[in-house]
Amino acid sequence: MAANGGDRDHVPERQTRAPVVVRAIDRVNGWLGSLSAWLVVIMVVVGAFNAFARYLGRYIGVNLSSNAYLELQWYLFSLVFLLGGAWALRDGAHVRVDVFYERVSHRVRRWITVLGTLLLLLPFTVFSIWVAIPFVRNSWRVHEGSPDPGGLPRYPLKTMVIVGFALLALQGVSELVKALRDRGEPPKDGTSVLR
């Protein structure tokens, strides 16, 4: 279930020259991105169940929903965001100022990618991980749970903040390496690393 409808397990020939580590990062983030796409489906089903159970429960006078289901829905949303960020970067589906980016040459796009990754993306992800570590460590220390009765534990989800930003940083390194190795104009078949 790829966001762009294509088969992202297929690595374009132009990228087969990339180092093994870069291909591995791309493959892992592709797999986790596909997982996050399926988490959207699960999240929608859980949300629909919550709504149905709430109204049916009111009708029959029995509480069919719980805080665990409500929290599961936003936990899934968090996982989609945290696991899908690196996937979006890999597939060029992240937000960028296309008004400028699409009008410049391939070479300028390559340097925008290099400088943006070095000056913005990597410092931001490292800072985010650095800030999250004490927050996550404390959550694990106290085995933080939901303040709501019947809620879910919070410490595993908070750990995913670090994992998500680490995956984004790794994908940033992958995109940086690909941008530095890409020397020519984009091929006619659209398989350029820099979309």
pLDDT band at 79 (very low <50, low <70, confident <90, very high): very high
Tens-digit pLDDT profile for residues 104-150 = 888 888 888 899 999 999 999 999 999 999 999 999 999 999 998 88
Distance CA 12, CA 190 (A): 9
Distance CA 83, CA 21 (A): 19
Q: Alpha helix locations (H) across 61-143?
A: 67-90, 98-101, 106-116, 122-141
More confident residue, 6 or 88: 88
Q: Domain map of the chain by residue range?
A: 18-181
Tens-digit pLDDT profile for residues 22-75 = 999 999 999 999 999 999 999 999 999 999 998 898 888 888 888 899 999 999
More confident residue, 4 or 72: 72
